[in-house]
Amino acid sequence: MPKLRRLSGPEVVSIRRQFGFAVVGQHGSHVKLRRLSATGQQQTLTVPNHRELDAGTCRAVFRQASRFVSPNELWPRFYTD
């Protein structure tokens, strides 16, 4: 069974940048990333900028990103085989 990776905030930001998101701001320990979709709609995601994210937070970040990026593309970056 695949296991969820324990990622840090900066690692998640790096993963999101691979899919065209750019950092647009930071408020406290949360980083806001944004990109424009093919239809011109703004897609915004928020990531806690912590040294290590809890498992539940990593799953929530994965679900949030899956709204805009194919889960098949995200899966290998968030889960191990």
DSSP three-state, residue 35: strand
Counted domains in the chain:
1
CA–CA separation, 81 and 63 (whole Å) = 19
The pLDDT tens digits along the chain (81 residues) read 789 999 999 999 999 999 999 999 999 999 999 999 888 899 999 999 999 999 999 999 999 999 999 999 999 999 997
In a domain, 44, yes or no: yes
Domain that holds residue 51: 3-70
Q: What is the pLDDT of residue 1?
A: 77
The whole model's pTM is what?
0.87
Q: Would you say residue 42 lies in a domain?
A: yes
Domain membership of residue 49 (yes or no) is yes
What CATH number is given to the structural domain containing 59? 3.30.920.30
The verdict on residue 7 lying in a domain is yes
pLDDT of residue 81: 77
Within-domain flag for 79: no
